[in-house]
Chains A and B, each alone.
Chain A
Amino acid sequence: MITTIDLEPVNKILAQIELSEKLTNGKIKPAYLIPLLQDIQDEYGYLPRKVLEHVSTISGIPLSRIFGVITFYEQFYMEPQGKHTIKCCRGTACHVKNGQKISDTISEILGIAEGETTEDGLFTFETVACLGTCFLAPVVMIDDQYFGNLTNSEITKIINKYSPKGDMP
């Protein structure tokens, strides 16, 4: 799927930075790179190459440094992600409370492996080391919502809610 990338949103983000004086010598401070990339990812859903090249030209931060940072952190994506991101916890508490089964079920329902996106572009499925909410184990996070104390049937219902026919946006 080739779509043209609109640079308008990133220009808005860059313009805001100038207002908030996060500048040295007319260039964006390197220390502000990570928050900047987060803002861009929030806007686009991932980090399109064309946008990053544009950021590099405007900000004076070398493209290599941007690339180094986004490949270092798991939180940054270089490919378009599903509309919803499902993060299944595989921390110790979730593990002992059968978290692996939840993970297997999600894979089965969506028909994709961990790290993949469904063909319809609706879901991206990831496992993470710990969501920090062990009292909810086993736990899954969809976008910015937590779902805890899960069973197999519950996770099926929840995913259905996010499907086009479901009631989640």
Chain B
Amino acid sequence: MSIVNIKINGKDHQPEIGENILKYALDQGIHIPNLCYDSRLTPSGACRMCIVQIEGRPGVHTACTMTAAEGLSIITDNKEIRALRKSTLELILSEHKTNCTSCDREGACQLQDYAYEYGAAEDKFPSIAATGDSGNYTAEGIAIGYDVEKCIRCMRCVKICAEVQHCEALTFQGRSGEVLVTTPFNMLLTDSSCEMCGQCLDTCPTGALYEKSALGKGRVRSLKKTRTTCLYCGVGCQLDLNVHRESGKLVKVTGETGIIPNDGNTCVKGRFGFDFIHREERLTTPLIREGDAFREADWEEALELVARRFSEIKKESGSDSLAGLSSAKSGNEDNYIMQKFVRSVLGTNNVDHCARLCHASTVAGLARAFGSGAMTNSIDELENTPLIFVIGSNTTECHPVMGIKIRKAVAEGRTKLIVADPRRISLTDIAHLHMQQKPGSDVALINAMMYTILDEKLSDEKFIKERTENFEVFIEAVKNCPPEFAEKVSGVKAEDIRKAARMYASAESASIVYSMGITQHTTGTDNVLSLANLAMLTGNVGKPYSGVNPLRGQNNVQGACDMGALPNVYPGYQKVVEPEIHKKFEKGWNAKLSDKVGLTVVEIMEGARKKEVRGLYVVGENPVLSDPDSNEVFEGLKNLDFLVVQDLFLTETAELADVVLPACSFAERDGTFTNTERRVQKYRRAVNAPGISKPDWEIICSIANKMGAPWAYFDVSEIMKEIASLTPIYGGISYGRIDDVGLQWPCTGTDHPGTKVLHQGKFARGLGKFHPVNFLAQKELPDHEYPLILTTGRMLQHWHTGTMTRKSKVLDEIVPIGYLEINPADAGKLGIEKGEEVSVSSRRGRIRVGVNITEKMAEGVVFLTFHFKESPANALTIAALDPLAKIPEFKACAVKVGKLSR
């Protein structure tokens, strides 16, 4: 980039050539008023407020549509400019009904600020403000309201919907004085292409767009903003919780542009999904089981009971009869303390968490191939990656803010997109190539791509030679899998597979993005190894804009793994079976530790059924709904001698507990989460905790104390100090350093800047290792009795077992109930009509659910989400495990769909 010399108000400046003048000036702290400008949007020059003079040119020009060029000299403020801006404001005010006294945006309204600054009169021109009596597209709708009287037609909402969210739900209707913002045919937002992200609310410079639930709940001066990290997916969006100073209630969630990773954007869950924190059903006090019911108890009694029972079981049946489930929803500090408690106080490595159910195969596969089981590259690289290969990830619904980055890159022509997914997802609409493979056929598909790459000599031989090993063994497996074979197995045309291979291999650099569609199979580790092979074969790893990028599902699933809430590793993936590591932790924690690998989630449940596990401590998980084959899980939990559940709500799992402990939500305490790009970020206390609930780590520490461990942590930053001292990849991370934008591990020392791209120059394990992978069919194939393949997953509006999102008013209103997605041909064969309730059954269970007939599904495949207890998908799924990662096959089992008998 070359620098040019310009003058602003007589002073010298050196912006980059072509830089937007308004953005540059604002970044430099030079005040230029603007109403239609948002750094996320292309400038439109519509509001005329940013007018400036250019020396040597007549008239005035809008700074937002001007780019830096050598010799440019501009004046941003003088009498003449001020007079013009004042008139412009007065014209805008004639369209805007100025009822600041009753407006929520009072004090946070750009129009009001400028009217004050320029002394603009509200009544200089006769009012032509539209009247709001005639309803508009939001009148009968959910969550978002539009007050046409306050709209100044700046177009920011329309543009952000098109350019940032890529939904194009909004448009201008009509022209000149009659222009309004609306949806096509004034349909409800929820009937349009809108995804309810609320970006329009956030960009509106006045009070025209507003959050219905926040109306009248407080103006900016009575709200306090607290920056925090989103609790939903692994993107780690930075959000501001706006809490009323007096009532202490959360009023709304906003974002701030320029902050990574989300640049002020959120999805529908981040925007509207946090009202659950104030729900009356929150647990406020410990509960102790008495017969069939619970009674309230104080902390002393509850903790005493927990400590006593755990100690008794340990004494009677040994440490390995106890187990703990940690949580990918709670912070790093909580997970660290939890696994430390299970390991050093209970004395067993039986600690695991739901990462077992999502990315265990990633951790197992990528660690074998590269030496580190995490996303190799960073989120912001996706916007400039020449080719993205999305496989088994419904990115726009499950990682929505990452999804909009991919959409943007494709829309602006920087990125070619290949999607491989058994369903037609939103990304397939913009993909340059969609391969609709059958669930469970991924290895064949990827092997066939590599067959083509080798066949057509498109591989990166230099990379293979210098950076990898085991190549010769690996090609033997690929040779067995020509595209014609893969076509038979996957249903994808051989020619499309070849095309994908050529596109991927010939791109300047290419990034693989994957998620549960790859990992949740009995061949999950094989799938991951295949993707690692593909990346190494073409040299697409260890450099920017490339890599193998697993998108982590939970806000802190990366962190929970990093913290060692896994049965085989201590924090930082240090193996429990390695004597030196074992010794290091015995010394560090001053305790005797087990050197035997512990049980995984599914094995713990099995152990419970067999009475081998007698006591279980569940922190922030709901295995009754989240784990496969839920009838068996239920049996296991019922079979336990002692079950402690620590959560926000009385979940389906908590209902089975002997003791229930009330935990604080993320909004009620401090801590850190680690997002999918390995960035350790803070979440901060914004509201008071309900009742006497406490942060997870405090509760666990109290139990540890009662069982004789002399732990004393003053706050979370002290725990992070201990983590850093024992965990090399977190060695340089401390609360002082992560306040602003966090740090990406590995960060090995206090002066280490963190790591954006892994495996540059050298893999974590030295050489990258190719693994021969042969195609194996899924565990349970469709047959005459169960002819359909069931695949499961998430939807945009809901989250996991629904404990939070189904208690959010807006999210529940948008999608109140689950449904089965089925192809029209399959529905036709069964004589099923839209919305009809049907029965879905597998060899393990049977549920009732309404159907949604859609072309999104391929014939022979049906889809269910696992959010709804009324139609629990996991009553049907199979607990067949990947042999290495022990991840269950959520993504494929055989079912039949039938009409309900009348």
Contacts and interface: CB of A to CB of B under 8 A. Distances in A.
A62 B432 CA distance: 18
B168 A62 contact: yes
A68 B172 contact: yes
Interface in B191-218: 192-193
A63 interface: yes
A72 interface: yes
Contacts of A65: 168, 171
B184 interface: yes
A49 B185 CA distance: 8
B175 A64 contact: no
A64 B168 contact: yes
Interface in A72-126: 72
Contacts of A62: 162, 168, 193
A126 B222 CA distance: 54
B173 A67 contact: yes
Interface in A31-67: 49, 52, 60, 62-67
A56 B534 CA distance: 37
A71 B185 CA distance: 10
B292 to A, nearest CB: 55
A167 B170 CA distance: 47
B59 interface: no
A117 to B, nearest CB: 20
Question: Helix, strand, loop or mixed for chain A's interface?
Answer: helix
A64 B193 contact: yes
B185 A68 contact: no
Given A72-B174, A72-B175, A67 B168 contact: no
Interface-central residue, B161, B170, B171, B183, by most chain A CB under 10 Å? B171
B169 interface: yes
Contacts of A67: 171, 173, 182-185
A29 to B, nearest CB: 14
B130 to A, nearest CB: 15
Interface string B156-181: 00000110000011111111000000
A115 to B, nearest CB: 14
A60 B168 CA distance: 11
Contacts of A49: 185
Nearest to A62: B168
Nearest to A69: B171
Contacts of B432: 25
Contact of A63 (B174, B175, B184, B429): B184
A68 B153 CA distance: 14
Contacts of B193: 62-64
Nearest to B169: A64
A25 to B, nearest CB: 8
A79 B349 CA distance: 71
A60 B161 CA distance: 16
A71 B174 CA distance: 5
A67 B180 CA distance: 12
Nearest to A52: B184
Nearest to A67: B184
A25 B432 CA distance: 8
A62 B170 CA distance: 10
A36 to B, nearest CB: 16
B839 to A, nearest CB: 32
Contacts of A71: 172-175
B174 A64 contact: no
Contacts of A72: 172, 174-175
A64 B161 CA distance: 11
A68 B429 CA distance: 22
A52 B185 CA distance: 11
Contacts of B169: 64
A49 to B, nearest CB: 6
B442 to A, nearest CB: 26
A49 B192 CA distance: 14
B207 to A, nearest CB: 23
Interface in A127-155: none
Nearest to B173: A71
Contacts of B182: 67
Contacts of A66: 184
Contacts of B175: 71-72
Nearest to A72: B175
A1 B527 CA distance: 57
B667 to A, nearest CB: 35
A64 B162 CA distance: 10
Nearest to B161: A64
A65 to B, nearest CB: 6
Contacts of A63: 184-185, 192-193
Contacts of B192: 63-64
A59 B441 CA distance: 32
A22 to B, nearest CB: 19
Q: Which of B172, B174, B184, B185 has the most CB of A within 10 A?
A: B184
A151 B891 CA distance: 78
Interface in B125-179: 161-162, 168-175
Nearest to B176: A72
B5 to A, nearest CB: 39
Interface in B422-463: 429, 432
B410 to A, nearest CB: 10
20 contacts: A25-B432, A49-B185, A60-B429, A62-B168, A62-B193, A63-B184, A64-B161, A64-B168, A64-B169, A64-B192, A65-B171, A67-B173, A67-B182, A67-B185, A68-B171, A68-B172, A68-B173, A71-B174, A71-B175, A72-B172
Interface of A: 25, 49, 52, 60, 62-68, 71-72
Closest CB pairs A-B (n = 4): A62-B168, A68-B171, A67-B184, A64-B171
Given A60-B429, A67-B182, A67-B184, 16 more contacts: A62-B162, A62-B168, A63-B193, A64-B168, A64-B184, A65-B168, A65-B171, A66-B184, A67-B183, A67-B185, A68-B172, A71-B172, A71-B173, A71-B175, A72-B174, A72-B175
